Amino acid sequence: MTDAIRARIRDIPDFPKKGINFKDITPLLADGPLFRSAIEGMLQPWRGEQIHKVVGIESRGFVFAAPMALAMGAGLILVRKPGKLPWKTVREEYALEYGSDTLELHEDALTGGERTLIVDDVLATGGTAAAVGRLVKRLGGDLVGYSFLSELTFLQGAQKLGDVQKHALLQY
């Protein structure tokens, strides 16, 4: 299964800038049976974990978080760039290689103790996912773990995510 999924993710050299080898997931998303297999593979480690909320990271994380939340009977929380959410928000700034960025989620998105899973398409340097983990904890969520379609292991992003369970269906 993972070989077929990997084969439907195409490499785009020098996108969005020179030196980056972008992993284009759109061919995978267009293949219904393989997209379903990818979701099932991302869900597998979390079966039986009684997840209450699934947090999707803007924007490609939404594509995976929504069907995962539905399959688990969990609520879906969207983490967005500043100014994109309509209600009162909490924000987390995090460092990038050159500069910083900010993410927000609604201040009432979680209640204390809700078992929460963070989902995104790729784990790269770990900065974005770690920032979302801090937001979840700040709102009182019980961070169970992180689920990714793929991980760029050479960037060692998993080290920034602490001592919670992490799962990536594919590793590069």
**78-128, pLDDT tens digit by residue?**
999 999 999 999 999 998 777 899 999 999 999 999 999 999 999 999 999
C-alpha span between 40 and 68 (Å, rounded): 8
What are the Cα distances from residue 59, in Å, to 63, 116, 119, 130?
8, 18, 11, 16
Q: Taken in order 132, 48, 159, 148, is the CA torsion positive or negative?
A: negative
In the structure, what pLDDT confidence band is assigned to residue 151 with cuts at 50, 70 and 90?
A: very high
**19-40, pLDDT tens digit by residue?**
999 999 999 999 999 999 999 9
Pairing of strands 99-106, 89-96: antiparallel
Task: Calculate mean pLDDT across residues 53-72.
Answer: 98
Is 69 part of a structural domain of the chain? yes
What are the Cα distances from residue 58, in Å, to 11, 33, 43, 133, 153?
21, 24, 19, 14, 21
Q: Is 97 a catalytic residue?
A: yes
Find the Cα–Cα–Cα–Cα dihedral 146, 13, 156, 169, rounded to 10°: 40
C-alpha span between 122 and 117 (Å, rounded): 15
pLDDT averaged over every residue in the chain: 96
> Looking at residue 52, what is its pLDDT?
98
Is 95 part of a structural domain of the chain? yes
Q: Is 92 a catalytic residue?
A: no
Domain with 107 in it: 47-171
* CATH classification of the domain holding 153: 3.40.50.2020
The catalytically annotated residue of 6, 40, 58, 60 is 60
Number of domains the chain is built from? 1
Is 73 part of a structural domain of the chain? yes
Give percent of the chain above pLDDT 70: 100
